[in-house]
Amino acid sequence: MAFFAICLTWSALPAAAQTAGEGSIEGTVTDPSGAVVANVTVTAISTTTGVALKSTTTPEGFYVISPLLPGTYNVTAGAAGFQKFAQQNIVITAMQVLGLNIRLTVGSANEQVTVTTTPPELDTTSATLGGVIQSNVYLELPILVNNQQRDVTAMSNLLPGAQPGARSSLFSGTESRVEEVYLDGIPITTVSQIGDNRPVFNVVPAESIGDINVVTSSAPAEYQGAGMVNYTTKSGGNQYHGSVADFIRNTAFDTWGFTAITATKKEIVNGVVTSVPAGKPGDHQNELAVSAGGPIYIPHLINGHDKLFFFGAYDKFHARSAPNPAQITIPTTKMQSGDFSELLSSNGGPGYVIYDPTTQGACTSHSITGPCRYAFGQSYSGTPGPNGGPTGTPTNIIPSGEISPIAKYLEQWLPAPTTSGISGNFLGGPPTGYDNWLYSGRIDYNMTPKQRISVVVTGGNRVAWPFTLGAAANMALPIPYTESDYSTVAGHWIDFEHSYTFTPHVVNQFRFGWSNFGSPPLKNLTEGVKQDEAATAGITFTGVPSNGQAVTEFPTETFSGANAPQQWGDGGSGQTSTIVNESYTALDNLLWVKGNHAMTFGFQMQALEDNNSSYDGPASSLTMNWSTNETACIVPGGKNSNCTTPVSGSGYLYGPNSGFAYASFMLGAVDSTGISLQPFSVLGGRYRIYSPYFQDDWKVTHKLTLNLGIRWDYIPPYEETLNRWSYLNPNIANPVTGNKGALEFAGT
């Protein structure tokens, strides 16, 4: 697949003679009569770093100074027989081509004409449509909203021709996912995130972003996409600068909502679940941001003034919204230790008697009426009789030696009831929110007046807590019993640039960028305790692979019967899918100023990787179902509910109003289990994009400039690392029928 584009635009002054992600100054030098002046040295000096870049005018009086890092510059020009010209306070943004025509005054070179006013902000050098948002704009705006950290990527929606999209701006009526996102002039989006600003939002701290450049149409040939946004990272200078900011949002500072007076919520009042006024919704956000930049200076070793600079930033965001509590049933504190005496009618309970399934053999051998079990606290009287001739009073207390170690392990994170009683005795629910952190660092090294290198490293991690919510009842339980998943988005970015000035008219820029962005697997974490695994709990499997889902997720526990506890877990699909995309981008731009032409010869190559792993179909974790049957009495049909008096019926039944599901759990007497396993596939897609391009900004006359650009994006067929992707090729012969049309695997 290949894309071919030609761009023809014109404007009043030269345009687009720039290098990737950086700016430039260009113009024509004339004498008082309007005649062009050749061999004039034009110098741009950064007011921040003191670094100077030079160019000389061509025989046609044309000059270009590039590449220039965003910042403020003073420009000087001088030639024999003319006074020195100086223009101060020129602001250059990334991707900007500033037109600065210079008219020299005849006189001594020791004399100087200084212009202190800044050039007009109106861009007359480029037919490109778009705009620039400088850092002071978004850093001063209240962009801490919706339980999210500060999001500077939304600022592009403010410019004409842009409108909000799902995850990025839409430009000039285009669809989503056709725009491109750049960081320092290098595309940062991945193969599955084209036109998505999340690799910036989740990777680059707001404090480290300088200018935001938006192009809505007529982009130069070196840039791709139907519209684009470029984010520029900040650089250090000769002065040390830093910032510390803490953005706080708290319920105490919030205003009262319209429904705050009438809304209610559940709380425990005097040991009873009670509806009370809801008040203000709980909302707690805190974002700490720090940054620092300046020259790298080590006494007696490195003096970075005018040469070596750094800039770094760190951002930590924490947000929690108040939970919406639900009232559920959990085992009482006594039940969690094997004591079910609260179920007996003598203790005010519903009258459930718990029977020991391990006594069924002994009871039946002494029974004259058929199979039976002894209740906990009962034993054989020594004389065979109905139901085994039991003696003693039921206690509903399971001896510690009979409690399952697996049950004790799985229940160790259960909370204590918040109210009394055996039913509806817990009110709870987790809060929701985020825990994010981001970092960035940049080093600029001006090795010589002709050579500069820059390195940028950024990264971030974003955890949604929790990511998905199940039923309100399930959400009342703490981790790991709650029905929820956690989402992590992590990314990293490395950018390297090398620029070299061969002659005043020939400049080369090389850039390389690597990005890693995706959703690595994140196992649920308990409050300070590693998420339990079925195998760790001591559950063994027959015929189940060791890497099966049941081994890697907390087992789902369901309890049936009256007054049974709330289900644990959701029977979900276990470890979430993993999506990690990587991109490698290398580009080279050669700028050649010849006559009235500013020509850029460039080539960009991208190697994109789409790495993901997932189950091939619906799957579930180990589910263990617990019922009353395993701890109920066994009586012949014809016995009544107290397992003693004959009534009509036949066969052998579980006695009603006996047994308790959580007692069966404590004994390890499971009623049924289930698991659904699916193969786990790991796929690795590989894509390549090769893009040669050429841009010629031709100044035909003083009033007419043609921006001529051509770009070819060649995209060969994609491949999978193990050649497991296929597609229908209608042009090859089917080996079975001999007709046209067969599946062809990529790479064959």
314 CB-contact burial (10 Å; exposed 0-12 / middle 13-18 / buried 19+): middle
Is residue 585 over pLDDT 80? yes
What single-letter DSSP state applies at residue 175? Answer: P
Is residue 58 over pLDDT 60? yes
Q: Which fold has domain 17-115?
A: Immunoglobulin-like (2.60.40)
Report pLDDT digits (tens) over 691-744: 999 999 888 877 788 888 999 999 888 888 877 777 788 888 888 888 988 887
What single-letter DSSP state applies at residue 120? Answer: P
Kindly state the tokens that stand for 52. 């100077």
**CA-CA-CA-CA torsion sign (419, 421, 427, 428):** positive
CA distance 361 to 495: 74
Secondary structure in 3-state letters for 523-540: CCECCCCECCCCCCCCCC
> What is the C-alpha radius of gyration for the chain, rounded to an integer number of angstroms?
37
pLDDT at 734: 87
Report pLDDT digits (tens) over 36-46: 999 999 999 99
pLDDT at 549: 45
Helix (H) or strand (E) holding 364, with range, is helix 360-365
pLDDT at 483: 58
Q: Give the 3-state secondary structure of residue 64.
A: strand
pLDDT at 243: 93
Highest-pLDDT range among 89-93, 432-436, 687-691: 687-691
CA 10 to chain centre: 42
Q: Give the 3-state secondary structure of residue 1.
A: coil
pLDDT at 7: 39
pLDDT at 466: 61
pLDDT at 548: 44
Check whether the bond before 119 is cis (ω within 30° of 0).
Answer: no
What single-letter DSSP state applies at residue 638? Answer: T
Is residue 501 over pLDDT 80? yes
Residue type, 104: L
Query: How would you classify the pairing of strands 169-171 and 241-250?
Result: unpaired
Is residue 566 over pLDDT 80? yes
Q: How many residues does the chain have?
A: 748
CA distance 734 to 17: 53
Residue type, 602: G
512: confidence class by pLDDT, cuts 50, 70, 90? very high
CA distance 667 to 657: 19
- Other Cβ atoms less than 10 A from the Cβ of 312: the count is 20
32 CB-contact burial (10 Å; exposed 0-12 / middle 13-18 / buried 19+): exposed
Report pLDDT digits (tens) over 436-458: 899 999 999 999 989 999 999 99
Kindly state the tokens that stand for 386. 């109905």
**Which residues are bridge partners to 734 per DSSP?**
none
CA 530 vs CA 161, 233, 410, 486, 536: distances in Å? 50, 38, 13, 14, 11
pLDDT at 526: 34
Is residue 110 over pLDDT 60? yes
pLDDT at 571: 60
Helix (H) or strand (E) holding 662, with range, is helix 661-667
CB 556 within 8 A of CB 549: no
CB 735 within 8 A of CB 743: no
Report pLDDT digits (tens) over 284-306: 888 999 999 999 998 888 888 98
CA distance 713 to 532: 50
CA distance 654 to 634: 5
358: confidence class by pLDDT, cuts 50, 70, 90? very high
The mean pLDDT of the chain is 81
Backbone angles phi, psi at 473, to 5 degrees: -65, -45
CB 64 within 8 A of CB 598: yes
Strand ranges in 526-660 using DSSP code E only, listed in sequence order: 556-559, 578-594, 597-615, 620-626, 634-636, 652-654
Check whether the bond before 480 is cis (ω within 30° of 0).
Answer: yes
Residue type, 74: N
Report pLDDT digits (tens) over 123-182: 555 666 767 888 777 777 766 666 778 888 878 777 777 777 666 777 766 776 677 888
CA distance 708 to 714: 20
- Which position has the higher pLDDT, 63 or 119? 63
- Ordered by start, the domain boundaries in the chain are 17-115, 332-410+628-670, 689-745
Check whether the bond before 466 is cis (ω within 30° of 0).
Answer: yes
pLDDT at 1: 44
Is residue 74 over pLDDT 90? yes
